[in-house]
Amino acid sequence: MATINLKICMGTMCYVMGGADLKSVAEALPYDIKKHLSVTYSPCLGCCNEQPTPPYVELNGKIIAGVSKNNLIQILKEELANVI
Residue nearest to ligand FES (CB): 11
13 binds ligand FES (CB under 6 A): yes
Q: What amino acid occupies position 68?
A: S
**Which listed residue (4, 8, 47, 57) binds ligand FES by CB under 6 A?**
47
Report whether 67 contacts 54 (CB < 8 A): no
Q: Which residues contact 69 (CB under 8 A, 6 or more apart)?
A: 18, 21, 22, 24, 25
Q: Which is nearer to ligand FES, 30 or 52 (CB)?
A: 52
Instruction: Kindly list the residues in this chain that would bind ligand FES in the complex (CB under 6 A).
Output: 9, 11-14, 44-48, 54, 56
